[in-house]
Structure 1
Amino acid sequence: MTDAYEELPLPRTELALEALRHAKRTEHPAIFNHSLRTYLHGRASGERRGLLPGRDYDDELLFLGCVLHDAGLTPEGDGDQSFDLDGADLAARFLTERGMPADRVEIVWDAIALHLHHDLAMRKRPEIALVTAGAALDLGLDDPHALPPGHADRVHAVLPRLHAAAVLHDTVVGQALAKPHKAPPFSLPGELVRRTTGAAWPTWEELDRAAGWNDYDGYRPESRARTPARSGLPAGRPDDLP
């Protein structure tokens, strides 16, 4: 099975190949190809920043984070959390069962659990940040022109897209429609469900009242009442602020 990817610069450790086979066996083909492209785009993104595998980061860890980052979108990984956390937990179990040390497992868990949180992930070590960078590039959430010339064409020749964005969307939404708690309000899965179904999110005040705290009972926003907003300026903002 790996012969089909012989021309790709994938790590060939025993664990990396086992994870590759597991992802190929359990993931929708479009999601599997997206996972491998995430690795290749992540590596390319790192190289453009002067980061090289083996020197600046552990290539096996980056690969494991990428190839397993959507494990939560498989039937095996479809648990009771959002898919990123389900996938991180499944990946951690998979790697622990195969003898990976806990400190290395934790890096892969972080890479998967944070991959929907771009600003957080990009401040982490390369094995984590480049998973997010690669996934964002593959889905057009970052400018694909940041990839080296011809890179995407070469990758797509081996790993065709197979309607990846549409398949990912429908898989995330399908899981959440079956288990609504997997898509809490204001999360990425929740937003995909909201846009698909037309559901309305509760307001901040409604969330408070649903909890029974009633912080809004008798509340008067004194600071805003004392400082009326002027045209073009929020309330209380000095005129000389940029």
Structure 2
Amino acid sequence: MRDPYETFDLPRTDVARAAFRFAQETEAPYLFHPSVRSYLFGRELGRLRGLDVDEELLFLGCVLHDLGLTGAGEGDQRFEVDGADLAADLVREHGVPEERVEVVWDAIALHTSPGIPSRKRPEIALVQAGSGADVLGMDADALPRDLVARAHEAFPRLDLGRAITDDVVRQACRRPGKAPALSFAAVLLAERGLSGDRPTWDQMIAAVRWGD
């Protein structure tokens, strides 16, 4: 692979380079590749929308946003929160101020929460927008064809959608706490008929002690 820093003009700060290396070494290629593509697509969508974007923060949020699906990032919380915690620790170790760490945490923790990131600062909104463009093709028509082609050539898709879905489901089956009611993981379990004896929303309401 040609130097992605030259090919795509990626941020070159010490923490950005450290985050890139960490993600590359920690994630399987099918997870690492979309982490970079989401930055390329999110950055371009920000440019098209005329947003004033902190490139380092956007890069950190994008390149680290799936750490919760790795062995290094898997804990007992939903994968978005586990990943945000690990990413925050990583950037904090490189001297990033807490107010910037908080932006990275929010961007990662919220990236599967529709309707919330778009109301936050641009870096948080664009982590979701970039990953949404990459995984689901949202706003894909707005992206330059040349950029999309170069991104896919440098970072192939490797059946991304199915692969990450399987990861989320496997984690949730091993650790039920990773799929709290109404979360993205819980929806995937329900769609695959793997919810087991988890209560439905109606059952949860019916069990409320106040006797509504």
Please give the TM-score of this superposition, normalised by the length of structure 1.
0.82
Deviations 1:33-89 (A, max 9, x none): 0000000000111111123xxxx1210010000000111111010001000000111
How many angstroms apart in 1 are the aligned matches of 2:122 and 2:128? 10
How many angstroms apart in 2 are the aligned matches of 1:123 and 1:68? 21
1:146: Cα distance to partner? 2.1
2:81/2:109 contact within 8 Å kept = yes
Alignment of 1:120-131 (within 5 A): 120-131=116-127
How many angstroms apart in 2 are the aligned matches of 1:48 and 1:57? 12
Aligned to 2:199, which of 195, 199, 202?
202
Please give the TM-score of this superposition, normalised by the length of structure 2.
0.93
How many angstroms apart in 2 are the aligned matches of 1:78 and 1:204? 26
Write the letter of the residue equivalent to 2:3.
D
Alignment of 1:65-80 (within 5 A): 65-80=61-76
1:82/1:182 contact within 8 Å kept = yes
2:186/2:195 contact within 8 Å kept = no
How many angstroms apart in 1 are the aligned matches of 2:4 and 2:98? 32
2:30/2:160 contact within 8 Å kept = yes
1:162: which partner in 2? 158
> Aligned residue pairs: how many?
211
How many angstroms apart in 2 are the aligned matches of 1:205 and 1:111? 31
In structure 1, stretches of 5+ residues that fail to align are 217-242
1:198: Cα distance to partner? 4.7
- Tell me which moved more, 199-208 or 93-102: 199-208
1:128: Cα distance to partner? 0.7
1:103: Cα distance to partner? 0.8
Aligned to 2:83, which of 81, 87, 93?
87
Greater Cα radius of gyration, structure 1 or 2: 1
Kindly indicate whether residue 176 of structure 2 is the aligned counterpart of residue 177 of structure 1.
Answer: no
2:39: which partner in 1? 39
Aligned-pair identity in percent equals: 49
- Richer in helix (by share): 2
CA RMSD of aligned residues (A): 1.8
Write the letter of the residue equivalent to 1:183.
A
Deviations 1:72-121 (A, max 9, x none): 11101000100000011111111112211111101101111111113110
Structure with higher RCO (Cα < 8 A, 6+ apart): 2
